[in-house]
Amino acid sequence: MSRISLKLVGASGQGINSVGAVLAKGVKRAGYCVFAYREYPSLIKGGHASYQLDISNERLCSSETTVNALITLNHHGLERNIEDLKSGGILLHVTPHWNFPACHQALIRSRALKVIYLPLDELLAQLGATAVNANVLVAAYLWSLLNLGIEALKSLVAAKFSKKKGLLDLNMRCIEAGFALVPPEVKKSAFALPAPNAEFAAHLLITGSQAMGLGAIHAGVRFYAGYPITPSSPLLSFIAELQDQTHMVVKQAEDEITAAQMVSGAMYMGTRALTATSGAGLDLMAETVSLNAMIENPTVFVLAQRPGPATGLPTWTAQADLLQAVNIGHGEFARCVLSVSDSQDAFDLLPVAFNLAELYQICVLVLTEKQIAEALFTQAPYDQENAEIDRGKLLTERSSLAAVKPWDRFDPEAKQGISARWLPGSEAPTYCAQGDEHDAGGHVDEAGANAQAQLEKRMRKQQTLKAQIPQPQLTVAGPRGPTLTSLDADDPLDLLVVSWGSTSGVIRDILGSEELRSRRIAHLHFTYLWPLRTERLQHLVERAQRTVLVEQNFQGQLGMLIRMECGLNIADKILKYDGRPFFYDELLSLLREQLALNGIHGSHSASATIGASP
């Protein structure tokens, strides 16, 4: 796969997001797969932020640590990011009279970097424009460097400023000026974009949060309550922005406890309701999760992970709340934990989560990560036919309601522990959704035999669920959409990679690389994290010369769960917990090291941690 990348850096609030978003959309429309990755500090103005686009004509879902072009909108970028450039890369900056220190001059020579100064202020003055228009000018310059057609950019910008005629004309002049600025010799040598793939032109450019929002609406969610906390807030914002089209009830609650309680009340009443949170917000929601377990109220909670503890790194990424999700809430109860991996299953898993919640009358926690929530994915339009709405043992027909008895609601003898459920307002015998231990009709009952029977009823749902959820997904190294047929039953595997969450994208890109596509590498990716099914893993481990766990946390939390469930200890781990995602080149080199250890006698554990000092 040939890939190129460019990175915009500047202060938060300088507009790198708007330039990045316009470029990403334009490049995608030209027929490329784009993956956009944002880094930014937890503040509104100032600080140092970046927006990186990785581009290919094949499917790509990862970022590299180094880029082909760096665009710095202030001098901090010149100081901090020049080392991010690949050999032969382009450095575009707007800082007048900048003197590169000796070390950077040496770097420019050794890597043969092309340094271009864009006299932004002068250009804007000539055009009668102000700093507000700088972004369009920069975007036009980059557009020209990428050899994209000017009309496409004009139509993108026109769509944005359609209601502001004066601003629109000025922006059009900026686009033309920006385009004309690139000297032909620079243009010729700048970027070698591979041949486009028209398929991508019609794709969506979407964040994981937007994908989840669409998935939730698709799943019939009619009520959303949330409290702002990064990185779950973009989902709340997206749902809120669409409310006049979806006609949903949207509530910004006074705290996470309220959000959790409101959606629980709405689910009890019988609609589909959703909330999302991050970090400390989930701690606050924990008591409500436990309550819903006792009253067997189906609920879905989204957890957008970020590094902790405490406020931690609120705008960075992690996979460090897996054990928290799996163990959330006081008392013993059945629950289901899923994790999305990319923009496809961020959509697909929302209907699944609501179906599981209603089928089993349990809480389903859907994990995502800042990396998924805020990265932009190039995504094929979502299928609108396949998903089903399955509300389980919900009784709505007059005839079934007429036959129901109050003690059917929490009948401890119910098959698989799943009893009938009917809604307030239904003409039927009533019951109490009782938070105290209760009998079949919801009356408080503290008798030992009853407590045991009810606990066993609720836990039986977990056993049933475990038998019915899918095994982790298996893929193998190979070009474009690896197939399992190459995984012959008898041959040993060079390497088995075990992962969950956002790492799937970067691992998939790596296993499709020229270097590794012909190796016998299997990738086992867990979407269903609790209950945890380990049969397929245990089978594959037997066949693999080496198994490595890839996670973005300190403890190897999936590894801990695996060990707890089946005793298997995956000793080799690649762990990262510095708030940054795994980058393509970084993880490729770590997997290469794992492969190099094959065949070495008495092979020692080869765990690696990244980001922190060794």
Partner 1 sequence: MTAPAILSEYRSRTLCTWCDACGNYGIWTAAKTALAELGLHPWQVCLCFDIGCNGNGSDKIEGYRFHGLHGRVIPFAAGAKLANMNVPVIAFGGDGATFSEGVGHLVHGLRSNYPITFVLHNNANYGLTTGQATSLTWQGQAMNTSPNGMPERTLASMEFIFSLNPTFVARGFSGDIKLMTRILKAAIQHRGFAFIDMLQACPSYNHFATHQYLSDRYFDANADGHNPNDLAQAKLLATQTEERIACGLLYQSQDVPNFYERLVARQGMETTCVEEVRKYNVSQLWADLT
Part of the chain binding partner 1 (CB under 8 A), chosen from 55-63, 81-89, 106-114, 209-217:
209-217
User: In whole angstroms, what is the distance from residue 443 CA to residue 187 CA?
Assistant: 77
Question: Which H, E and C letters describe 374-406, residue by residue?
Answer: HCEEEECCCCCCCCCCCCCCEECCHHHHHHCCH
**Residue 436 or residue 593: which is nearer to partner 1 going by CB?**
436
In the DSSP assignment, the letter for residue 493 is B
Query: Does 214 sit near partner 1 (CB under 8 A)?
Result: yes
In this structure, the number of other CB atoms found within 10 A of the CB of residue 207 comes to: 23
- Binding partner 1 (rule: CB under 8 A), the pick from 107, 115, 152, 242 is 242
Counting residues that bind partner 1 (by CB under 8 A) gives 73
Q: Which of 194, 196, 429, 479 binds partner 1 (CB under 8 A)?
A: 429
At residue 297, φ and ψ (nearest 5 deg) are: -95, 120
> Which residues from 285-344 bind partner 1, rule CB under 8 A?
287-288, 291, 295
Question: Which H or E run contains 86?
Answer: strand 85-93
Q: Does 423 bind partner 1 (CB under 8 A)?
A: yes
Tokens of 6: 């460019």
Instruction: Pick the closest to residue 282 from 315, 241, 323, 331 (CA basis).
Output: 323
261 makes contact with partner 1 (CB under 8 A): yes
Beta bridge partners of residue 302, listed in sequence order: 276, 366
Contacts (CB under 8 A) with partner 1, residues 443-462: 443-444
Q: Which is nearer to partner 1, 245 or 485 (CB)?
A: 245
Does the protein bind partner 1 through residue 271 (CB under 8 A)? Answer: yes
The region of 66-74, 162-170, 333-341, 438-446 touching partner 1 under the rule CB under 8 A is 438-446
Beta bridge partners of 70: 7, 91
Name which of residues 347 to 366 contact partner 1 (CB under 8 A): 351
* 568 is a site residue for partner 1 (CB under 8 A): no
The pattern of x and - marking residues 462 through 501 that bind partner 1 according to CB under 8 A reads ----------------------------------------
Find, among 245, 322, 257, the residue nearest to 289 by Cα.
Answer: 257
Among 19, 142, 172, 253, binds partner 1 (CB under 8 A): 253
Q: Residues for the chain: how many in total?
A: 614
Binding residues among 370-399 for partner 1 as defined by CB under 8 A? 381-382, 384, 387-389, 391
Q: What angle do CA 566, 357, 374 make, to 5 degrees?
A: 85
CA nearest to 232, candidates 289, 285, 296, 168: 285
> Given the rule CB under 8 A, which of 260-268, 361-369, 567-575, 590-598 is the region that contacts partner 1?
260-268
- Give the DSSP H or E segment for 157: helix 150-160
**Whose Cβ is closer to partner 1: residue 312's or residue 435's?**
435
280 touches partner 1 (CB under 8 A): no
From the CB of 613, what's the least distance to partner 1, in Å?
41
Contact positions with partner 1 (CB under 8 A) in 13-72: 29
Name the residue among 252, 260, 315, 313 with its Cα closest to residue 282: 260
- Check whether the bond before 492 is cis (ω within 30° of 0): no
Nearest-CA neighbor of 541 among 560, 561, 522? Answer: 522
Among 121, 151, 199, 255, binds partner 1 (CB under 8 A): 255
Measured from the CB atom, is 314 or 441 closer to partner 1?
441
- One residue of 37, 141, 223, 333 binding partner 1 per CB under 8 A: 223
- Biggest CA–CA distance in the chain, Å, is 86
Note whether 356 and 383 are within 8 A (CB).
Answer: no
Nearest to 277 by CA among 232, 310, 317, 319: 232
Q: Could you tell me the smallest distance in angstroms from the CB atom of residue 546 to partner 1?
A: 41
Instruction: Decide whether 343 or 368 has the Cβ nearer to partner 1.
Output: 343
Shortest Cβ distance from residue 116 to partner 1 (Å)?
Answer: 32
Closer Cβ to partner 1, 231 or 442, answer by number: 442
CB of 161 to partner 1, least distance (A): 15
* Both tokens assigned to 606: 């080869």
Q: Between residue 590 and residue 609, which ones bind partner 1 under the rule CB under 8 A?
A: none
